[in-house]
Amino acid sequence: MTEVKGNFKQREKMKFRIWVFDDEKMIRDMIGEFLREFGYEVFCFQSPAEIAENLNVANSKFQADIVITDIQMPEMDGIEFVKRLTECGFSKENIAMISGYWTEEYREFADKVGVRCFDKPFGFKEVLEWVKERRCEA
């Protein structure tokens, strides 16, 4: 394995791994199933709190190539999660934030950090194209 940044490692000859975080089960399941149809390894979570304490663990279960996260979630919101990810060295270019309730504060944060934004409802093909671009750049 090749060290990329922090404790995140680039896995060679393995499926491209995507984490999806959304407190709405239907949305996370739909995103997960759609991306799996294209051969991606997708793990869906209700909240970033489920894995946040393991972000620095050098274990392949806690590594991802791409993160797609909702903003408004219980326990830990998407803003806090994105801050933690980038502090751990996760590439901001491989993070997307999704929301149906963008506030000025959320937009400013996303613009400042440089993550991709998707408005709910979004087109799954739009998300897929963004994922494919990220994979080509990996």
Chain segment 34-73, per-residue pLDDT in tens: 999 999 999 999 999 888 777 665 555 568 999 999 999 9
User: How far is 38 from 43, CA to CA, in rounded Å?
Assistant: 14
Number of residues assigned to the chain: 138
Residues 6+ apart with CB under 8 A from 4: 10, 89, 91
Q: What is the pLDDT of residue 74?
A: 85
pLDDT tens string 73-124: 988 889 999 998 998 888 999 999 999 888 899 999 999 999 999 999 889 9
Does the pTM of the predicted model rise above 0.85?
Answer: no
Q: How far apart are CA 114 and CA 6, in angstroms?
A: 19
CA pair distance 5, 135, nearest whole angstrom: 17
Summarize pLDDT for 16-37 with one digit per residue, the tens. 899 999 999 999 999 999 999 9
